[in-house]
Structure 1
Amino acid sequence: MGKFSVNGVWFPSISIAQPADRFVKSGSNVAKPQNCFWTFGEYLEKNIGPKRCQWDRLSELFASGNSLPFIARYRQEVVKELDVDDLRYAQRLFEKARDIDVKVGTVIKKFKEANLLTEDILCTLKSAITVEEVTAFSDTLKTEAKHTLAQRAEIAGLRPPALAILNGNSDVNIMSLVNKNVKGKYGEFAMYIFCFV
């Protein structure tokens, strides 16, 4: 198992080989996460105990929007020997798994937008089973602090015209430097000039 780096942070590499039927474990695929390799049933099994078929069916009921009282009363074939506290715990874990799935999707989207998404990163994100694992990845994408006005002026290429104005050159057409397609206020140019003083 190798390692790979994202913005200087090292992560373990995970094999991306997954069985083709990985997501469809029972009659319906309603309870399948959209962004993770594991199913909700697998997540419940890992955190509660070995009753895989029961967890798959129970997670399908949760995903369909069935309430705990309905499940406890009318779905005895799924509930079997579980008491109300076990059902509540299973529902909390299901919601936690759903939150992880949503967060994984959000982080994958951010990596795609930053053009940093590789197969290793995608596989590691989809294999994450805790919010902390996903957060560790999302933290690698956080950029440095916002630029100061002077830094933004230099990035925008306004340093030479600002210095020309400060040196008394009146041939600079300020309005030609304003780009209406760039986010910001038109009056920022004056602020940029004062940043270089």
Structure 2
Amino acid sequence: MNETHTERIRTELGLQPAQVDAVCRLLDEGATVPFIARYRKEMTGSLDEVAIMQIRDRLAQLRELDRRRETILKTIESQGKLTEDLRKKIVAADTMTKLEDLYLPYKPKRRTRATIAREKGLEPLADLLWAQEDPALDPEGVAQPYLDPEKGVTSVVEALAGARDILAERVSEDPEARAELRRLYLAEARFRAQVIPGKEEAGSKFRDYFDWEEPVSQAPSHRILAMRRGEKELV
């Protein structure tokens, strides 16, 4: 039994160490939730089924996180790209989202526009634009040396487009940028839905969403699902 996991569960659920330790041990021995709640009250401090299920589910999540973490570490290490700093970040990741964000730049992927741009030798140009060391930098001027008809870069426009593709992928795969975008989305984004003109009768069961707007952070799941069903039914 992982003491780090049990300590975290105790903190999150506000339970006593002996309660969490006992439930985790009983679950590992194959006991069911109803059995633990009914016949092991003296070991769990009389925890009910809801509390025991919370412990069970959180323990499963943390163990799945460990398995995924181990796979990611092995994959990146096999690529020869696992630095000590990256290892520490992966080990410290406490949610699957954070873990997958860290893995994203190293995840095997199909050939993207950024991949093609790198094959054309445009990553150094992207690095120059990214650094922004010279406020007076002329993008078209610095792109000129990267023209290479043999690689398919025949104009400054093509060179800069390739560099932008590389930078766009770099930002989209940056864990901190992704976390900040999620934060902004939850804080500022709004759901909006309007009926398609002429679909009022066909979509009458969705009339509550004919002109609906609500902050993402406040919208309950049942309203979001209803809105998505209306979208799927093209009303």
Partners of 2:109 and 2:70 in 1: CA distance:
23
Contact (CA 8 Å) 1:62, 1:94: kept in 2 or not?
A: no
Q: What is the RMSD of the two structures over their aligned residues, measured on CA atoms?
A: 2.6
2:56 aligned residue: 91
Kindly indicate whether residue 23 of structure 2 is the aligned counterpart of residue 65 of structure 1.
no
Secondary structure of 1:116's match? coil
Tell me the equivalent position of 1:175: none
- 1:47 maps to 2:12: yes
Deviation of the 1:70 alpha carbon: 2.4
After superposition, the Cα gap between the structure-2 partners of 1:55 and 1:115, relative to the gap in structure 1 and judged at 3 Å, is same
Please state whether the residue corresponding to 2:56 is helix, strand or coil: helix
User: Which residue number corresponds to residue 142 of structure 1?
Assistant: 107
Alignment coverage as a number of residue pairs? 115
For each residue in 1:17-41, what CA deviation from the matched residue of structure 2 results, as whole angstroms up to 9, or x when unmatched? xxxxxxxxxxxxxx22xxxxx6220
Superimposed CA distance per residue, residues 91-149 of structure 1 (whole angstroms, 9 cap, x where no aligned partner): 111111111111111111111111122332222222222111111111121255338xx
Deviations 1:68-111 (Å, cap 9, x if unpaired)? Answer: 12222332233213211111111111111111111111111111
Counterpart check, 1:121 vs 2:66: no
> Which residue number corresponds to residue 111 of structure 1?
76
Matched AA of 2:96 = V
Q: Distance in 2 between matches of 1:73 and 1:126?
A: 37
- 1:17 corresponds to which residue? none
Question: Structure 2 counterpart of 1:58, which letter?
Answer: V
Q: How far apart are residue 60 of structure 1 and its match?
A: 2.4
**Separation in structure 2 between the aligned mates of residue 93 and residue 103 of structure 1, nearest angstrom:** 15
Question: 1: distance between equivalents of 2:91 and 2:52?
Answer: 26
Partners of 1:129 and 1:104 in 2: how far apart? 10
Q: Which has the higher contact order (CA 8 A, sep 6+)?
A: 1
Distance 1:46 1:141, change over 3 A: farther
CA distance in 1, matches of 2:43, 2:92: 27
Structure 1 unaligned blocks of 5 or more: 1-30, 33-37, 155-197
Q: Retained in 2: the 8 A contact 1:68–1:87?
A: yes
Give me the identity figure in percent: 25
Separation (CA, whole Å) in 2 of partners of 1:61 and 1:117:
37
Q: Which has the higher helix share?
A: 2
